[in-house]
Structure 1
Amino acid sequence: MIPFTYHRAANADEALRQAGNGVRYLGGGTNLVDLMRENIERPSTLIDVTGLDTGIVEQSDGGMLIGAAARNTAVAEHRAIRERYPLLSRAIVAGASAQIRNMATVAGNILQRTRCLYFYDQDGTQCNKRIPGSGCDAIGGFTRNHAILGASDHCIATHPSDMCVALAALDAAVHVRGPDGERRIAFADIHRLPGERPDIDTNLQQGELITAIELPAVPSTARSTYRKVRDRASYAFALVSVAAVLDVEQGHVRDVRLALGGVAHKPWRAARAEALLRGSPATVDAFIKAASEELSHARPLRDNGFKVALAQRTMVAVLTQLMEDMA
């Protein structure tokens, strides 16, 4: 680990005053510190932002506002989150051990980087996320855990977060502050697909700081859940995961929101499946057709073709479960 300086910010204004080249914001540190130990991340200065807003506040419109420094455990255990957004609580609990959840912050979870083995193996592999233009040894390598949607010739890594898949399905928004002021970003626009610059994970600008996450109200008639498929039950990363919100009226889908994890460089919003389902009969046949359409654009590699069928079946199983819950 290279030498660095450390400062603790009392508030967002203080954190922003110290922002600049080589500066990184530090939340729980459960990902950034690991990468620093491996000399993959090499910030000259860390600004500790765990003193920022930790509140979880119910809004008058039925939504919620979660402070960026709220711990994952606090969010998962909050009564209103469990009642109104059970998929978010389930996703957080599925994502890590209790010790990590107690340390991790909501903003830190959003900004965590890939767990691709080739990204971490800086001594023996080439990786465009570490060094742009160096190549991607994952392509042509062992690809069981890699992307089947939205990948490029420069990177096939997948986003590791469970919480972010749920936030994508909830149409969450992210509040940020930066040198040019405040802005609100739709959650679907926070993370990037790899394209030619997989080293750039998000669409945040230099120095911008996440201050809160906004959850819109979910209709009282809707049901939601999160399902994670993994190699072992003890805190493994997802092979495939599905976050779903389903609202049915008189046997037809009034609204549906679907997001997939473990299949792309960012939480994958299943827009094609949603479009097919809205207004259609809420039947298993309709779920199968929609899941098949969503995965028809998948580009599996040598070792991960199984993810296509696994994602389809998991989508159908989750939607069927929600229908049964409504009965």
Structure 2
Amino acid sequence: MSLCYILPVANQSNNRPVLRFAPSPTGHLHLGHALSAFENERWAEVTGGRLLLRIEDIDTTRCRPEFVAALLEDLAWLELPFEQPPRRQSAHFDDYRQALDRLAAMELLYRSYASRAEIAAATGRGGYPRDPDGTPLYPRAALAATDDRARRDPAEPYALRLDMAKALAKAGALAPALSWREQEKPGNGSIEAIPAAPERWGDVVLARKEFPASYHLAVVVDDALQGITHVVRGRDLYHATGLHRLLQSLLALPEPTYHHHGLILGPDGEKLSKSARSTSLRALRADGATPAQIRKMAVIV
């Protein structure tokens, strides 16, 4: 049975909202993670919803078992009421392959073989368009010769990319005015329709030869399979939502309501990272912080 028939059933299993906190175990959790977890908890409490935990460990080279154990320990210490067991992306690679197969059947995917150095050389001139994360859009025409040459070697590494032009044409036939619902606050908060603009991401990578799925593909599949109705996450993922709505439309997946909360910034004005040990929950706990103090510290100023 295909995803498009299974997933709507998951979303209709009951009328309670379903929220999720989905950290990636590539390091220790910090105050920014705590903020997002607390925001999901708050939305679940106000709406009478369920609170799920998803461990986004699809990158098996960077996501280490000790970080998973530390993550679970930190969340238990904070006494967050997650339903058990959590979903582990690493146990669901077949779900992502099924989604990729559906996109491939619609002729929306292609392989690109150019290395990062070749891409950088082709896009290094000033003013080359970039996606919202600052990555240059893939210059497919400029690298056509490279891709054709490398395609002859089956051992050559490749990226599986979404043909954005074809995807937009396909999605336009399905839903001409693609947008997402952004809700201001839980409960009866106002909802604004935000234009999606997925074309800003260009021919985005959805998988690699040695990597089952990108974050963008995995997150929409996971949200659908878990029946997520409200996605509450950081503002840094605001623009990615347009791409996620495109993938949901193409794969006939349910559309959640979104809320993008503000971020905790470090002294340099950048969002907190896992490398910032001074803000890690484990370091703060070792210095004597209590869960109640963490709740007071994990605020947007």
TM category, shorter: under 0.3
RCO comparison, higher one (Cα < 8 Å, 6+): 2
TM-score computed with the length of structure 1 as normaliser: 0.23
**Structure whose residues are more often strand by fraction:** 1
